[in-house]
Structure formats: structure tokens, C-alpha cells
Amino acid sequence: MNGMEIHKRVVQLVREKVAGTKDEDLAIPFVLLGEDGLFDSVTALELVLAIEKEFAIVVKDDEVRPENLGNIESIVSFIQAALSRQAQSLVVILKPTAYASMLGMLSVSI
């Protein structure tokens, strides 16, 4: 999934949460979440949960920070990073060397 596609889906999620959101509200520098943001904390939580569901990622408590979720731009970058982390961990599991190290751990624990 590329950045544009993620951006489109995040904008759609934001519009679902706050009806009548204008395009200028979603411009890159606009604060979406935060003290001066468009969303209060409960609506922000709804958005975070919707992002988790839509992109099948987990947003950890310590990742709930302005640099990850402050505006559309940061949300898109955060999702991209989370998706690539997931893909990397999948690659590691599929690598034969990873299997070998897992078997090694198993034999040690036995």
C-alpha cells in the first residue's frame, strides 16, 4: 500500500469521525489531534481505533504522541512505518536462518 492510498483512507476515516470536515482542516500543517486540534480526546481515540482496524496495526500506548498522530501527514508516515515493520517481521519469520535460530532456541530450552 503506497503513501497516497494510505492518505486517502486516513482522510476518509477522519471525515467519518467528524462530519463536515473541510479540506483546509486536513491540510498537512493543520493540527488534527492535540490541545488545539480538531478532535477531542474521545473522538481521537475513536480515530486511533479505526486506524488500528483499517490497517490491521497496533498503536502502542507509548506511540500515542504528537509526532505520530498530530496531523494527517504524521499519521500517514506512522502507518507506513508500522506496516513496513510488520512486513519485515514477516520476512524474518519466513527466512530459513530465522527458523534455524528458532530451532536452536528450542533445543536449548529442551
Interacting residue ranges for another protein, rule: CB under 8 A: 33-35, 37, 40-42, 44-46, 48-49, 59, 61-62, 64-66
The distance of closest approach from Cβ of residue 85 to another protein in the complex, given in angstroms and rounded to an integer, is 19
The distance of closest approach from Cβ of residue 45 to another protein in the complex, given in angstroms and rounded to an integer, is 5
CB nearer to another protein: pick between 48 and 75: 48
**CA-to-CA dists, residue 28 to 25, 64, 69, angstroms:** 9, 19, 12
CB nearer to another protein: pick between 33 and 76: 33
Interior angle at CA 53, CA 47 and CA 56, nearest 5: 125
Distance, in Å, from the CA atom of 49 to the CA atom of 35, rounded to the nearest integer, reads 19
